[in-house]
Each structure stands twice: as structure tokens, then as C-alpha cells.
Structure 1
Amino acid sequence: MNQFKLSALALGVAMGLPLPSFAQTAPTDNPLRKELLDLQARMAELEKRLQSAESNKGMTPEQQQDFNRIAVKAEALEDSRDFMGMKNLKISGYFDLAYVYNQAQDRAGFQFINPVQSGGYGYDNSYFGMAMLDFLKETDSGTRWHLTLAPNRGAGAIIDGSSIVHEASVSVPLTDLQTRLIAGQIPDWSGYEFVPAPQTKLVSHNLLFDFTLPVSYTGIGVDIVRGKWETKALLANMNASLRTPHQKAPVLAYRVDYSKGEFDGFGFAGVHGNVANYADGGGSQLPDSRLDTFEFDAYFIRGDLTLQGQMSIGRQKNAAITLDPVTGEHRDAQWWGASTLMAYKFQPTLEGIVRLDYLNNEKNGGGLLGYASSDGRNGIGPGWSYDSAASAWTQTNPERGANRTALTVGANFNFNANTTFKLEYRSDFASEAVFFDARSNGYRKTNHLLGGAMVVSF
């Protein structure tokens, strides 16, 4: 009977010792975890020896001392782990070195942690070329604390040009773990594509991601999960960590997801409220104006096949590129578009991808979220034509903005569990000559981009 009790105790201690959660770190990389594993191995060996002993024998004095010493040391290591705050702490990150060739810009080279503000956000200078470090901590009460750092390339850098914080948020259980209060700086959650490179299949992003979606929200709201439905809603500043004078009203931002089954689901998101207006104010900043956006996205992922899609529509008051030709007053910017992606794994490590985007932006000379003036690098605004008599480029029809299409084909190769190589070729088309050609100092209707990336994550 004594032998049975001791065996059960040894087995319980050996198998029940929790390990500190150093996310995706090999056991030998952390001395504390390695020592706990060594202790478990020794206790398992001791239990095996006890089980093989004769039924009328118990522990020897040496075995009892060894057992007690291991139990005390294991408990001390657990206390040390908890004291240092390592319990339920996950640390992850990735490195994304990108290479981009832009034909119209006559530019080619590597991109990595380059400042977004220096060249302006664009489809050839989007959320790639990043180094990101992510900390996720959950307390015993269920509160989650999330901090993501991304120097020069994250949401904070796009908003103010200097912040390295991509996300800084908390999630606090209210009535239960499925009903939470969320607050802080939270990246936008719209669409089927994500910011982190390990979660995207191509190097660049689709047209809707780059030109119709917010960057982030700073505010407070709720996250509610009920069965297959999840609803998130915030009252927040959009793309601003601090409002300026005369800015008082927050926006309502929301996201609803439905996981239909194991392989498919859909979601929708929207933003409604007053936001910054970047239209030409004659040398002064225009007052905030009303923004309304809505997007729907869905996915089907089964086996080697991936299908994803998104439709978006938006409108911002008094934010169009072209003024009314009769009254000279500002008019509304309006847009709608769609994007679809198909991917297929020809081998477990090799995947082919095709993405097709369309963005309609012709009304009132064009105008998109954050883009209220002509942009020859991104191909936004009225088209241009060459006037040989004046030897100058002039706008063909200021009332009509360019509609955009982009076709991207690419592949990714999973070299190992932590390393992925990406390659893509992208052709952008416009209904008007809006792409500035750096070599000829003129405008064209098409542009071509070649991109590659090496993504290493842990």
C-alpha cells in the first residue's frame, strides 16, 4: 500500500509539473525550462524503478531523499517563473526582408524597416519590409495584455511618423471570458488580408487594403463571442492617438465574424463618424467630415485550396479631389471595389497564388480614404494628356478620376517551419493615364511591379 501511494505521488508530480510558456522557443534555449525538463526526466526514471521493485519493498532512503529534493526544486522553479511574470507569456515575432522593382518609378532595391513617411504609404511601400516583435500576456483572471512593436513600419509609424507601437491593447473579461472590454490602440480589422507577413500569401496587398481601409483605432469597446459569432465594436479616434482642437466626436468601428464550419466563414466591418479631411483647403486644414465605409469578406480553405474575397464601399463628405466646376465647392469622395484571391498548394511546401482587384474611383475626380489629391505614384485622380502646343501635361478631364485594376500572380515556398520565400509579379492598370513615369516625366495607364520577400518567424 505504501509502495502504491509513493508511486502515485511520484507520477503525479512528474507528469503534472507545468512548464513556463516561452512561445515557440526550443527547450534548450531557456535554462529554466531545460532544468524543469531534466527534473521531469529524473522523476520519470525514479517512478520506473519503483514500479519494477518487488511489491514488499518501498523506497530506499536514498530514493526518498532524491525524490524530496526534486519536488522542492521543481516547486521553487515554478515560484521563480511566476514571480518573474513568465507564466502565460507568449513572445513571437518575424523578420520580413523585401525586394521591389517598380517600373514607372524606375526604382529597384531592398526594403527593410524603411520609414513610411519619407516616401508616403503606397502599394509599393506597404506593410512589408518589417521587423515585428509581439508580446501577449494572459493573467489568471483572464485579462489579456497585447503589445506589438514594429519600428518605422507599423500602424503607429503611419499615423505619426515616429511611434514604434503597432498595437497596445488590453482585453478584460466582464461577465465571462466570452464577453470582454477591449481598449487601447488596435489595428484595423477589415478585409481578408492581414498586416503580418507570415499571415499573408503575397508580398504586396490588394487595392482595397491599401486605399480604402483605416490604419488603426484608439479607443474603448467590447468583444463578444456567442457560439460561431464574434462581434467587436469600438468608440475611437480613427488614425489618431490624440485629437486636435475642434475635433470632438469619435467614430463607431465594428467587425462581425461568423465561422460557418471548419473550412469556411464570412465577416463584415464598417466605420461611421467624422474623420480628418485631406482635401485641398487652400492652404488650411479642412474641418473633419463624415465618413461611412462598409466591407464584406469571406473565405473557403480546405486541403490545398484557398479562396478569399472582399467587397467594399465608402464615402467621405467634402473629400473629393476636384471642386465643383460651377460653385467651386468641395464635393464628396465615393468609391467601391472588389478583390478576390485563389491559392493552391502544388506541393506541401510550394503554393501558387492569383489575386485580382478592382477599384472604382471616378466620381468627382476621385478621392479615397486618406487620398484627396492626385497621386501619380499610386495612380489616383484625374488622367493626364500631353499638350504638344503647350509642351506640357494637362489633366484630360478633371471631373473623372481613374478606375484601377491590379492582377498579381505569385508563389511562396516554405523552406522550413519558420522560413518562407515569396515571389510575385503585379500589373496595375488604370482607365486614365495616372501613373507618373520617372524616366520620361510623363504619365501612363499601366505600371508593373516585381516583388520578393524572405519571411522568418518564431
Structure 2
Amino acid sequence: MKHKLTWSLMPVALAACLACTAAPAQADTTQDLLNELRALKARVGELEKKLEAQASKQASKEASKEADAPTPGMTPEQQQDFNRIAVKTEALEDSRDMLGFKGLKVSGYMDPTFVFNQRQHRAGFQFLNAVGDGGYTYDNSYIGSAAIDFIKETDGGSRWRLTLSPQRGTQAVSEGSASILHEASVSIPLTDLQTRFIAGHIPDWSGYEYLQPTLNKLITHNLLFDLTLPTAYTGAGMEITRNKWIVKGVVANMNASKRNANEKTPVLAYRVDYAKGEFQGFGFAGVHGKAHNGSENVVDVMGDVVPQRDSRVDLFEFDAYFIRGDWTVQGQLSWGRQEKASITPGAQNELRSALWSGLSGLVAYKFEPRLEGVARFDYIFNRKNGGGLLTYSQADGVNGIGPAVDGYDIFDRPNTFIDEQKGVNRAALTIGMNYAFNLSTVFKLEYRYDWATGPVFLDTKSREAKKNNQLLSTAVVVSF
């Protein structure tokens, strides 16, 4: 460009030289000569500006041609389509971020279920029925539910979770309400992503078995899950992850979203998990504090039951797992007590503690990638002080809890305790199969045999008490 500019100015320079040579003959004075030189200089400046503008315009055209040239291997039409896609992608990303969908995950499930209960003389489908109608029972629990789960994670690592389950969520179970809330929790990183503050309404984390049918190999849950563990916590705490260890704990209300008057002592709930390797690990959990006491052993002079205040609860359980190839092996040991919550009073009509311990084990084997067989055995020792389990401070003919009885009245209340100083031990054997029809659908079939060391199961037709009960159930679990 410099060479082009130099040759373009040559005529101007020659003209200037000629003008200078002829100046003495044409100008009368030195001043006239200076004026002519100034005019020539100005003219040269104008020509230089025009040449620079023309060069700049030419460079812009060449750059534009290079930008419009298609990418090697692409036709001009393909390049245009690619540019349109890039613009649309950026617009979609901007719209997603503006609407708050970035980091949002939505999932859900439902499991319409058919249940046959021998002693209840009941057979039929159950789906989204209210848990509070007949209380929490092992043939009902969370069976036949539907849920939708929203998880939102921000750029800073904070997690927000809301799980809704009409009639079958943890709040409906723990408080006997028509709530749709199952979980509402937040998890906020403090010093790093592995050290978090947690708070809200959090489902219980004890044991090897999960609440959701998508994570539970069978239809019903084990006896420890149904009868000895809390439902949910409402409070705040910490979750810490270090290498293979995960430790979490909360100070919270157990099974209550709000404390009543004259109740102010929370519980300390915690869980520790250790993943020993790729295929095995163990964990333990505990709860210590005060919780609802449903004992009806105290009556006033009018014969009315005097409600009991919250009483001390101590729970501890240990669980482990081994999952490798086609095999799954899981197990759990539990121990618990609740003060002044036994089903029957002492010899002097005093309130006594409910005491229990138990075990549960599950083995599953995949006969083929889609078909899995499952067997589970549960046992609860509950003979002390007339029996009584967590939140079960009254005889229960459906779940089979309490001392042995000689029958039930029309209100499902025991006629007479055979020995009110001894509760019955409970056991259950469950076998089942599940078949993965596709990635989102699983069919389940289950047979369950429950028994006790004394007659305690209510037969709704004869009003007699039986030592055993049988269930047959099938379900389809669809998730996304």
C-alpha cells in the first residue's frame, strides 16, 4: 500500500517542482511565492486523505468477503443454516436463563397397585387414597402413590428441592392431613460444595430401604421401615462429604411441621454413610430427643383419656449393602425405646417405656437383565412391657402390635388381653419379582406372609384374633 501511495503522489510532486522552478518568473514578490507553496501543500494533503480513505474502503471489502466465505467443506447454504442455528441456540439459552430453567430437573413416578389382604377380607386397587383414613398400616403405607419432584441448582451450588405427592407424602403420613408435601428442602454450600447447610422438611434417612417405589425392589416395606422409624424431620443442620464418608445431621421436630403449646424440645437426628468400595458399604443412623406420645393409659375421673406430652425417644440402627453383578444383599439392625409409651400400664397402673429391637435382610438376584427375584425377612422383638413401637402406643389389630388378645369388638378394640404384661413378637417373610418392561416401566408381583407369637391380627368377619395374615399384591411403576 505504501508503494501505491508513493507512485500516486509522484505527479503532485513533479507539479510542485515545476511550479517552484517557474515561480520567479511568474511571481512579483516573495510573498506571492509563499502563498502558492501553501496552496500546493494544502492540495497535496487533500489528495493524501482521499487516497487513505480509498485504501481503507478496499480493505473493509476484502475482510467482508473473507467473513462471508463458507467454512471449508460447507456450501454457502449450509453456512447460512449453521449461522441461523447458532443464533437460535443463543436465543434459547438466554430464554432458559431468563425463565429460571437453568439447573432445573423435573422427575416423577406413579404406581397403581392391586392388594389382597386375607384378614381384612379386602381385595382391590388402591391409588392416591388418604393415609389418614385408617392410619398407617403395612398393607397401605406409601403404596399406590404419585409424585413429582423439582430440583433446582444455582450456579453457586445451592440446591432447592420440592417433592409433591397427593395424599401419600410424608406430611400426610406424619400428621394425618390431606397435605401434598413430601419434601421441601434447601442445601447451601458453605466453605465448599462438600460442606453444606441443610434445612426444611426432610424425609427420614434411616435404614437400607427407600420410600419411593422406583427405588424399592418390592411393593411393601420391611417391618422396621413401617413400625420403628420416623417419617420426616422439620429443622436444620449440616451435610459433610469427605472422601468415602457422608455425615449429615439436623436439629428438628420429628414427625411434626410445628410444635404444640408446652412443647419445645427437638430431636437430634443423624446419619453416617461409608462406601467401602464400588460394591459395598455401610451406614448407621440415630434419633435422640422428644417426640409425640400417643399413650392412652391415663384417664381422668370421668373416664376420658388424658393426652400425654412428648416423651423421650432414642433410636439407633445399622445397615449395610453388597451389590455386584446380578446379586444384591442388604441388611439392617435396629433398637429403640420411647419413655411412657408402652401399650399397657404396669402393675401399679404406672406408665412404662416401649422397648423394641429388630432385624431385616433382603436378597435379590437377576435371572436375566430385566427379570429379578427378591426375598426379604423381617423380625421385631417387642415383648417388653406389653409391647409398643414408635408412635404405636395402642393395640393395633391390622399391623399386629400389642399383647395377644381373645378378639375384637365392633370398634376394632381388643376385648381382653391374654397377658397384658407381654407383647407379641412380629415377623414377615416376603417374596417377589420385578420385571423391567422398558426404561421407565417396571411390573412387580409380591406375596407376603406375616405372623406373630400370639393372636393379634384382626379378622374383620369373625372379629377373632389370628396369629397370621397374608398379602398378595401387584403393581406397575412408571417413572420419568
Q: TM-score range by the shorter chain?
A: 0.7 to 0.9
Alignment counterpart, residue 50 of structure 1, candidates 65, 71, 77:
71
Q: Pick which of 175-184 and 157-166 moved more.
A: 157-166
Distance 1:386 1:239 in 2: 32
CA contact (8 A) 1:384 1:433 kept: yes
Cα deviation, residue 385, structure 1: 3.0
Within the alignment, does 1:347 sit opposite 2:368 as a pair? Answer: yes
Q: Which runs of 5+ in 2 are unaligned?
A: 1-69, 300-304, 409-413
The corresponding residue for 1:85 is 100
Q: In structure 2, what residue type is equivalent to 1:168?
A: A
Contiguous gaps of at least 5 residues in structure 1: 1-48, 54-58
| 2:288 alignment counterpart | 272
**1:277 & 1:68 partners in 2: Cα distance?**
68
Matched, 1:148 2:163: yes
Partner of 1:232: 248
Whether 1:214 and 2:230 are equivalent positions in the alignment is yes
Task: Report if the CA contact (8 A) 1:385-1:393 is conserved.
Answer: yes
What SS does structure 1 have at the residue aligned with 2:102? coil
2:133 equivalent in structure 1: 118
CA-CA distance at 1:386 after TM superposition: 6.6
1:194-343 to 2 correspondences below 5 Å: 194-280=210-296, 281-282=298-299, 283-325=305-347, 327-343=348-364
Q: Percent identity?
A: 59
Among 439, 448, 453, the residue aligned to 2:470: 448
Instruction: State whether structure 2 residue 420 is matched by structure 1 residue 398.
Output: yes
2:172 equivalent in structure 1 = 157
Counterpart contact for 2:407–2:458, Cα < 8 Å: no
CA–CA distance in structure 1, aligned partners of residues 282 and 421 of structure 2: 36
The letter of the residue matching 2:423 is G
Match 2:450 to one of 414, 417, 428: 428
Shift of the 73–439 alpha-carbon distance from structure 1 to 2, 3 Å rule, reads same
- Which residue of the other structure, out of 344, 359, 365, is the alignment partner of 2:386? 365
Pairwise CA distance, 1:76: 1.2
Larger Rg, first or second structure (1 or 2): 2
CA deviation string 1:48-92 (max 9, x = no partner): x83437xxxxx85x6665544333222111100111111111100
Q: 1:344 to 1:323 in 2, by over 3 A?
A: same
Q: Does 1:128 align with 2:143?
A: yes
How many pairs are equivalent? 399
Partner Cα distance (2:80, 2:432) in 1: 63
Return the TM-score normalized by structure 2: 0.81
Shift, 1:337, TM fit = 0.1
Q: Which moved more, 1:252-261 or 1:157-166?
A: 157-166
- Once the two structures are TM-superposed, the CA of residue 197 in structure 1 deviates from its matched residue by 0.3
Contact 1:393 1:442 in 2 (8 A): no
Scaled by the length of structure 1, what TM-score is found? 0.85
Detail structure 1 runs of 4+ shifted over 2 Å in the superposition: 49-53, 62-73
User: CA shift at 1:159, angstroms?
Assistant: 2.3
Cross-structure match for 2:121 = 106
State the alpha-carbon separation in 2 of the partners of residues 73 and 416 from structure 1: 34
